[in-house]
Amino acid sequence: MNGEWRLIREEVRDGATNMALDEIAAETAANGGPRTVRVYQWEPSCLTLGYRQAPDTVDWAFCEESGIDVTRRQTGGGGIYHDHYGDIAYSIIAPKDELPGDLMATYDLLCEPILAFLRAIGVDARFVEQEHDAIYHPACYLRDLHPAHDMVAGAGRKIAGNAQYRRKDSVIQHGSITFSVDAPSHLGVFTDGPSESRFRERVTGIDEQVDIDRADAVDALEAHLESWADADEGGWTDDELARARERAKTKYRSDSWNRERTDPTD
């Protein structure tokens, strides 16, 4: 890959901060700083809403009672329940002019290390070959499966979803890789969801496909991202962390963003 890349190894942060750090990393890359590949975990577990998702699809009481954060992504699609243990998240962030102009070509490029990682640890992973109808539209993992960005494993159950959005000068792709399925929590964050059996017909996790510890899976993902980008191990600057804390507070924890889709920082 072109330019200077940094790998930020798995960090544990709340949902608002994770989303804010993606934005800050995009600003850094657009301003001539390093491009970023990162792996991260959610504490507490978090529901991220798709950009256009209606707030009335969320069971807010269940989330509050269960200690599950809720924030809204910049990317589209349905909501994703990011379990503290069961979800492995990644982001790839680079200047827009260093990536293909075509959306599908960019997905192909940026998903290379994700597919390579899954196959390297023994998962029979691939892009879904044809579209499948939605089971439950508000949930990303239960929406229609699309060959551009949905990865399936084994008998064809979804194991990872990837999404991207293009800012003026940069591109952010982030994704959710399921290590272990927690169907009751994943369904509980939504209103009027399908049965657990229907959920399990569509979704699988790494731990159902291969015998590997979560820590070893994370190490393998980091190694593939590092190699793919020819990245050096790095970290956030103090300025980036300060700006991310402010962005998380003013935007990603705000009701105006999460419930009304109005960006208070504009």
Asked whether residue 265 is domain-assigned, the answer is: no
Radius of gyration of the CA atoms of the chain, in A: 17
- For 24-76, the pLDDT digits (tens) are 999 999 999 999 999 999 999 999 999 999 999 999 999 999 999 999 999 99
Asked whether residue 247 is domain-assigned, the answer is: yes
Domain that holds residue 148: 5-258
Determine the number of helices (DSSP H) and then strands (DSSP E) in the chain. Answer: 10, 11
How crowded is residue 264: how many other Cβ atoms within 10 Å of its Cβ? Answer: 11
Sole residue written with tokens 């990682």: 117
Q: pLDDT confidence of 170, banded at 50, 70, 90?
A: very high
Quote the distance between the C-alpha of residue 202 and its chain's center. 18
How crowded is residue 72: how many other Cβ atoms within 10 Å of its Cβ? Answer: 26
Q: Which pLDDT belongs to residue 65?
A: 98
What average pLDDT does the structure give for the chain? Answer: 96
* pTM assigned to the model: 0.96
- For 123-159, the pLDDT digits (tens) are 999 998 877 889 999 999 999 888 878 999 999 999 9
- Distance (Å, rounded) from C-alpha 135 to C-alpha 197? 12
- For 217-259, the pLDDT digits (tens) are 999 999 999 999 999 999 999 999 999 999 999 999 999 999 9
Asked whether residue 48 is domain-assigned, the answer is: yes
Asked whether residue 263 is domain-assigned, the answer is: no
Asked whether residue 130 is domain-assigned, the answer is: yes
Quote the distance between the C-alpha of residue 228 and its chain's center. 18
Question: How many domains in the chain?
Answer: 1
Please state the rounded mean pLDDT for residues 2-12.
95
Asked whether residue 35 is domain-assigned, the answer is: yes
Q: Which pLDDT belongs to residue 146?
A: 81
Per-residue pLDDT at 121 exceeds 90: yes
Is 206 in contact with 216 (CB distance < 8 Å)?
Answer: no
Asked whether residue 107 is domain-assigned, the answer is: yes
What tokens were used for 166?
């293009």
- Distance (Å, rounded) from C-alpha 194 to C-alpha 242? 41
Q: Which pLDDT belongs to residue 133?
A: 87
Element housing 241 (H / E): helix 238-247
The CATH number of whichever domain residue 49 belongs to comes to: 3.30.930.10
Selection from 19, 15, 55, 61 nearest residue 188 by Cα: 61
Asked whether residue 264 is domain-assigned, the answer is: no
